[in-house]
Structure 1
């Protein structure tokens, strides 16, 4: 049984604002369905980024009633029918138009993470590792790069001046994944995380974990272990003595 819902959607660029719409909602629909209906019936010039509509491409990230979410995974049934639903673009990234933001910051940070470096003596097909190591990194590979964790991280959300020094939870998680990989031969990834990627800015509030649509435990399983490895390498007296003797 359909009903009429009240939406407030951001229109325009930085100088734009919220506009009110009344739009039909049918059973089983998600917020992205309603945005598409608005495009089809009331505002054909509305800009919105989307692709798979299955929660796997990460394209339709937005803020719904102030919470970073995927529009295609936010069911209308979770809202009261009398509630006004506000849809705005991700706040952390520069606004292009309407619900589309410029997320190129993330691709810049991705290029700054050194790639996996396998042992030189092993060729393709010769890699061997324990199943427990496979499972540990497999969780991080579920990331769909929706950038909701980047968007909600207050280190850059509230302090844009940190963008140059801080890679954000998504790419610190990538560093952690490579550091935990038993075959990765890159030297001192924890120190790179601390110095090049700004791990020290993270104060483990778990806001990134809270908004992850893949339920990756970013803080507990990636960021905190990476911080522990940094602390061990820099401050553990036994390891410091070992490094001194080795050098």
Structure 2
């Protein structure tokens, strides 16, 4: 692809309001959207605010919405767009705008602090943990998360209903709860912490209706819905409604 001039519409503004502004920017072969944003800063809009860091799809910093789809700008090649179309870049819609393409994602860090950490088994010392490889592989998928928060942004429970944010942790952090609940060495339940109950009652698992929109935008290809949220929902249902599971938990609690 030889160089050409592309039309862009970029959102400019702050928490008080803003607008889409039109620009024409040179595009060269092999470039990504973040390259164009940097060229725009260098040539036409030096005060354009944008968050970025690694430019390699591993830090999650340059999240934005490109033509309405949550994406990493550093991983979105210009070659996926028709030369004649106008490329629109806007900030993540689910979070408050600070300025231009930079949003306040502190909501996510607040939710992260609300997820209790791994509880080590008291009978094992560090270095004595042993797990089957299949258990390692299962949780390793979730650890690929780069915390770009694209899944949080596209989840309609958060995106379209601001009032849900207080009660709903979102797919990224429900995935974290699922990872810990699946961990064969996590001793949370033995310490009195019921991760499945907290997932439902404190982190809003019931709000999720498994539309898989979070999975569709994950740049790491994590199957958030199929491998984390649906299994977690199944565990919650078993705990609450399966009479055998319920009876077993009662017997185990009484014997302990």
User: TM-score normalised by the shorter chain: which range applies?
Assistant: over 0.9
C-alpha displacement of 1:123: 1.4
**So what's the TM-score if we normalise by structure 2?**
0.95
* 3-state DSSP of counterpart to 2:231: helix
Q: What are the superposed Cα offsets for residues 144-200 of structure 1, whole Å, 9 maximum, x if unpaired?
A: 000000000000100010001000000000000000000001122111100110000
| 2:41 is the counterpart of 1:39 | yes
C-alpha displacement of 1:244: 2.9
Aligned residue pairs total 247
Q: What are the superposed Cα offsets for residues 84-142 of structure 1, whole Å, 9 maximum, x if unpaired?
A: 00000000000000000000000000000000001012111111000000000000000
In structure 2, the residue matched to 1:11 is 12
C-alpha displacement of 1:13: 1.4
In structure 2, the residue matched to 1:244 is 250
In structure 1, the residue matched to 2:204 is 198
| 2:230 is the counterpart of 1:224 | yes
| 2:214 is the counterpart of 1:208 | yes
Q: Give 1:119's match in structure 2, choosing from 121, 146, 157.
A: 121
* 3-state DSSP of counterpart to 2:64: strand
Q: What are the superposed Cα offsets for residues 23-44 of structure 1, whole Å, 9 maximum, x if unpaired?
A: 0000000000000000000000
Structure 2 residue runs without a partner (length 5+): none
| Cα RMSD after superposing both structures | 0.7
C-alpha displacement of 1:243: 2.5
In structure 1, the residue matched to 2:185 is 183
Query: What are the residue-to-residue correspondences of 1:1-247 with 2, within 5 Å?
Result: 1-14=2-15, 15-187=17-189, 188-245=194-251, 246-247=253-254
**So what's the TM-score if we normalise by structure 1?**
0.99
